[in-house]
Amino acid sequence: MKQARVFSGIQPTGAIHIGNYVGAVRNWVRMTERFECFYCIVDLHAITIPYEGPEMPARVYEAALDILAAGLDPEKCVFFVQSYVPEHTELCWYFNTLASVGALERMTQFKEKSEQFRENVNVGLFDYPVLQAADILLYKAGVVPVGEDQLQHLELSREIARRFNGRFGDTFPEPKPELTPAARVMALNEPTRKMSKSLTGSFISLSESEKEIRKKIGRAVTDSGPQAEGEKSPGVKNLFTLLAAFAPAETVEYFEQQYQAGTLRYGELKPAVADAVVAELNPIRERREQLAGKPGDVWEILDAGAARARAVAAQTIVEVRERMGLRR
Ligand code: TYM
């Protein structure tokens, strides 16, 4: 029987990368077997940094294609676009009255993004984690499959749920993160930083060709200065993370033994990582090509998902309004 509700979101950045995939999206797919799941393309979060309006529909579409190609079955979950469900922004406003400015100022992502986009430190960027709390709690989700970089935002979601419950009565669960062993994949070209769409050369996207995948892994940085005794360098550690995420356990064990024995050769490790990544991404790329032939289907899936999401969202909003005294 399906138990707790699950919610997670992803920004439409244009192309989903293997960090998003092994850190979150692959887990989304698996969780549909055990839970009632809501998965969302968060376009309202994406507009907090500079963007071009006319490009947004294509970005949303590409994200949806990637996720469906990665194996998400829209019959087994509710898959939709955030802005199609206006209750997200409504709940965000209510939560704004419970979130403290101090807590938002401490958010690492806000600090980083306001450094990166100094010309455009807008209120939406500041409020971003409150909208995220609204996303999750609108569906009363208790489990949130994410990568490590979202833990601080989730802590705030829990705090908001606690505050609301304390003030207006028990309404929301305190959502817990669900991490995978690859919850933090690092940049291939700069392994002390996170793999990210905004860091050029750092990522492999889900639809990358086999040739590109091999080239990027072949060039991945392995040596980055002296390490403490018995510690893998960040680049080597990252290759092992990818190996563990994509290859069978025996392969990981073989290379671990090589490493322990001091006989590890990057010339052998890198092709093994590339083989494993290619083996998993090839069928995803093929499914993507099939789906891309029928764009109408993808939009239909998202519309149907939004309708199902709204039915649940509307119930929560009625309850919240009542509890907050916003009804006669
Ligand atoms: P976003 O779009 O940056 O990333 C989507 C998911 O991918 C994970 N991730 C990674 N995992 C491992 N290694 C990496 N290098 C890596 N980079 C990204 C992220 O942790 C995330 O799980 N704020 C969120 C979107 C969001 C959301 C939500 C998530 C909005 N509302 C509610 C959960 C619940 C974000 O920007 O993720």
- Atom 4 of ligand 1 has which residue's CA nearest to it? 10
Coil, helix or strand at residue 320: helix
Residue 2 has a pLDDT of 60
CB-CB contact of 50 with 92 (8 Å): no
Q: How many helices (H) and strands (E) does the chain have?
A: 14, 5
Q: How far apart are the first and last CA of the chain?
A: 39
Point out which residues pair with 81 in neighbouring strands.
Answer: 41
* Binding site membership of 191 for ligand 1 (Cβ less than 6 Å): no
How much distance in Å is there from the Cα of 15 to the middle of ligand 1? 13
Tell me the CA distances in angstroms from 223 to 21, 142, 235, 239, 261, one per residue in order: 26, 41, 7, 12, 18
Residues 6+ apart with CB under 8 A from 250: none
CB-CB contact of 292 with 63 (8 Å): no
Neighbours of 256 (CB within 10 A): 14
pLDDT tens-digit map of 233-263: 999 999 999 999 999 999 999 999 999 999 9
CB-CB contact of 204 with 212 (8 Å): yes
* Binding site membership of 194 for ligand 1 (Cβ less than 6 Å): yes
pLDDT tens-digit map of 150-196: 999 999 999 999 999 999 999 999 999 999 999 999 999 999 999 99
Is residue 4 very low, low, confident or very high in pLDDT (cuts 50, 70, 90)? confident
In angstroms, the CA 270 to CA 284 distance is 21
How much distance in Å is there from the Cα of 166 to the middle of ligand 1? 29
Picking from 30, 18, 241, the residue whose alpha carbon sits closest to that of residue 8 is 30
- Atom 20 of ligand 1 has which residue's CA nearest to it? 147
How much distance in Å is there from the Cα of 79 to the middle of ligand 1? 16
CB-CB contact of 130 with 83 (8 Å): no
Say what the pTM is.
0.97
In angstroms, the CA 206 to CA 67 distance is 9
- For residue 237 the two structure tokens come to 């550690």
Is residue 225 very low, low, confident or very high in pLDDT (cuts 50, 70, 90)? low
Structure-token match 């101090």, residue found: 102
CB-CB contact of 15 with 202 (8 Å): no
* Binding site membership of 197 for ligand 1 (Cβ less than 6 Å): no
CB-CB contact of 16 with 10 (8 Å): yes
Is residue 224 very low, low, confident or very high in pLDDT (cuts 50, 70, 90)? low
Tell me the CB-side half-sphere exposure of residue 91, using CA atoms within 13 A: 32
How much distance in Å is there from the Cα of 9 to the middle of ligand 1? 7
pLDDT tens-digit map of 107-119: 999 999 999 999 9
* Binding site membership of 278 for ligand 1 (Cβ less than 6 Å): no
